[in-house]
Homo-oligomer: A and B are copies of this chain.
């Protein structure tokens, strides 16, 4: 079953450009190395300043578990911490159809 993820990331004021460059490289690695990843798109809120949302789709739970265990994703964790202005909110959704 497809799994959807919406990751809401509040980023520190003034760090948007640096965060976008960091995340674009991470997304490139995800898309290049994870056949079970269907989509991994960074987006920026139009209504909440400094808020980004990552829209993610995986073909199944195994693909999501694999994503979380990759070396580049684990290495990204401490770097994320340097950009965040607050707690990220991660929502997991069950794909239909």
Residues of A within 8 A of B (CB): 2, 4, 6, 20, 23-24, 27, 38-39, 41-47, 52-53, 55, 57, 91-97
With a cutoff of 8 Å between Cβ atoms, the chain B residues found around residue A94 in the complex are 43-44, 46
Asked if A53 meets B93 with Cβ closer than 8 Å, knowing A4-B43, A41-B2, A41-B4, the reply is yes
Instruction: Say whether chain A's binding surface is mostly helix, strand, loop, or mixed.
Output: strand
Partner of A23, one of B42, B55, B97: B97
Q: Assembly of this chain: how many copies? A: 2
B4 to A96, Cβ gap below 8 A?
A: no
C-alpha gap A27/B57 in the complex (Å): 15
With a cutoff of 8 Å between Cβ atoms, the chain B residues found around residue A55 in the complex are 4, 6, 39, 55, 57, 93
With a cutoff of 8 Å between Cβ atoms, the chain B residues found around residue A52 in the complex are 96
A24 to B96, Cβ gap below 8 A?
A: yes
A93 to B57, Cβ gap below 8 A?
A: no
Interface centre among A42, A92, A93 (most CB of B within 10 A): A93
